[in-house]
Amino acid sequence: MEERRVFTRINARVPVRFLDLSSGREGQAETLNISGNGLGLVTNDDLSTLTPLVIWLNIPDEYEPLCVRGRVAWSEPLSGRVGVHLENAGLLGLGRVLRLKRRNGR
Domain borders along the chain are 11-101
Please give the pLDDT value at position 7. 63
CB atoms within 10 A of CB 65: 15
Burial code (b: 16+ CB inside 10 Å, e: under 16) for 32-53 equals bbbbbbbbbbebebebeeebeb
pLDDT at 84: 96
CB 53 within 8 A of CB 69: yes
The predicted pLDDT at position 20 comes to 97
**Which CATH number applies to 11-101?**
2.40.10.220
Instruction: Print pLDDT tens along the chain (106 aa).
Output: 455 555 678 888 999 999 999 999 999 999 999 887 899 999 999 999 999 999 999 988 888 898 999 999 999 999 999 999 998 755 556 676 767 666 665 5
